[in-house]
Amino acid sequence: MTDTENQANLNQNVDGRGLCYQAGYLPVPLRSVPPEGLAHLKLYLFNGKAYSLYRNIGLKFGIRDYRRLMDNGVNYVYVSVRDHRAYYRTIENSLEKIVEDPKTKLERKSEILYFTSVELANHLMLEPPRKREIDRAANVARATVKLIIQDKDAFSRLFEVYNHDFYTATHMVNVCSTVVSLANKIGIVDQQVLQKIGSGAMLHDIGKLFIPSKVLNTQSKLTEEQFEIIQNHVERGCEHLAKVADLPPETMAVVAEHHEKLDGSGYPRSLAGDQISLMGRLAGIVDTFEAMTSVRPYRERTHSIEDALEYLRENTPEKYDPELVQVFTQLIEQTVNPDDYEPSFDKHSTLSGLNWLEASNMSGRRHQRHYFRLQALLRRMKQINGQWTLGTAERVIVHNISASGLGLLSPQPLPFDENICVSIPRNDTQQLPNLVATVARCVNHGDGWYTIGAQFHKVLPKKTLESFRRRSFVREFYSFSK
């Protein structure tokens, strides 16, 4: 099997899908994982059409097996998504090697790093972490720093795969890579310092483990008493971390100060001005931005990136450091500003009988992603006797779209590789197209909602995206012009 075929195979398996607990496979890059790390996994090979069992659990997998596969052009083996915990732990142990591998594309490195980090963060939020888990968070932060330092486009790629949902695990991972990128952009180049900052970001909300879930998951406006309870998460997190590990001051500053404000209006200690460290100022800006732009099923409003940046600017210098906000604004605007791209569009669908627009990124170019919030109907597609049929309509929340795919929240899990048709509601006589896509990622958050990422089969035309811009219900969509 050639490298091209292997890369094509890998592209069919977007990392992170394993969290859906559905039938499917996850790729393991042989170059980056030591042979002994695969001995406890059931391994599969992909021949371009189907997966076949290569090595069962318990059977020795050594250097000879490794070399034989590599000599035959096999660069990836696969594991079942049912073994996703063991898979991510194996990948986690090899993260630094993966991000340093010159033969692995940046897009793949970013996906592997991000979803492995989210899996670890989910584990961290199951129970108060011990020193071993804290060390694992530091290793993830170290790999994040290495990727961002070695490639100027790394943060852009990581930002593209972000899950913008306000679940604590994904929030901590998003804050980690963003605050590391911001710290690096203001001139911090010492990788050890950046790693300490990233570690703090991976742990900054760990105190929420000690807050009652009924308060954290309140779907209505918080009462004054509930807000005071949530504010306790900072001190509770610091207390726990101090008990189980001797963390550097840079790390603890991120945890302790990410809710402090320059005017003294923050919490828990009401620090003001120079009392707040540089680490705390950086974390406060990023934490606010990430919280404002996140999407939750019960949230009435999701702030656009422009709204969030404007909020930060309006609150300088009272609450946020104006110089840091200026640099942060530049970082985000450069990240979400895509290359000008006019995609081609084939009007003839191969799936007859449906009024749709197919779409996927065939060229590998980046596409601008528009964020908003709207109710939609999703129908699962099945092929019967060569004809495609639509299943029963299911209500979902669509929260972003680009020329190559869309993101949504669903109360039901969707298996990856399933074809779906999403119907967008209309509020005038203009007909919006149905969107047909294939599920590429499904993340189970354990609260009854799933974050779904779906990829179109052909690039969505620019005029169709413009129709979304003009829709009155897309109030919170954002874009930046060069």
Of 158-172, 313-327, 352-366, the one with minimum mean pLDDT is 352-366
Residue 337 has pLDDT above 70, yes or no: no
Of 64-78, 207-221, 431-445, the one with minimum mean pLDDT is 431-445
| Range 455-464 average pLDDT | 77
pLDDT tens readout for residues 204-241: 999 999 998 888 877 677 889 999 999 999 999 999 99
Same fold, 94-335 and 356-470: no
Give 356-470's CATH code, choosing from 1.20.1560.10, 2.40.10.220, 1.20.1300.10, 3.20.20.70: 2.40.10.220
Query: Which 8-state DSSP code applies to residue 373?
Result: E
What's the mean pLDDT when you consider all of the chain?
78
In this prediction, residue 115 carries a pLDDT of 83
In this prediction, residue 78 carries a pLDDT of 84
Compute the distance between CA of residue 288 and CA of residue 442 in angstroms, rounded to an integer.
26
pLDDT tens readout for residues 5-58: 333 333 333 333 332 223 367 777 787 677 777 777 888 888 767 788 998 877
| Range 248-277 average pLDDT | 96
When pLDDT is cut at 50, 70 and 90, the band that residue 347 belongs to is very low
pLDDT tens readout for residues 48-66: 677 889 988 777 787 888 8
Domain-wise residue ranges, the chain: 1-87, 94-335, 356-470
Higher local confidence (pLDDT), 134 or 293: 134
| Range 445-463 average pLDDT | 75
The model's pTM is 0.67
Topology of domain 94-335, per CATH?
Hypothetical protein af1432 (1.10.3210)
Q: At 159, is the secondary structure helix, strand, or coil?
A: helix
> 229: number of CA atoms within 13 Å, CB side?
15
| Range 301-324 average pLDDT | 90
| Range 60-86 average pLDDT | 82
In this prediction, residue 65 carries a pLDDT of 86
| Range 354-371 average pLDDT | 42
Residue 97 has pLDDT above 50, yes or no: yes
The rounded radius of gyration (Å) of the Cα atoms in the chain is: 23
Residue 473 has pLDDT above 60, yes or no: no
Give which of 394, 416, 404 is closest to 465, Cα–Cα: 404
Lookup: tokens for 203: 């742990």
- CA distance from start to end of the chain: 43
Residue 280 has pLDDT above 90, yes or no: yes
Higher local confidence (pLDDT), 253 or 453: 253
pLDDT tens readout for residues 99-115: 998 888 888 888 889 88
Give which of 152, 154, 174 is closest to 164, Cα–Cα: 174
In this prediction, residue 215 carries a pLDDT of 86
pLDDT tens readout for residues 386-423: 788 888 889 888 877 878 888 888 888 888 778 899 98
Higher local confidence (pLDDT), 287 or 472: 287
Higher local confidence (pLDDT), 377 or 337: 377
Residue 331 has pLDDT above 60, yes or no: yes
Q: List strand residue ranges (DSSP E) for 290-424, in order.
A: 356-358, 370-384, 387-390, 394-401, 405-410, 419-423
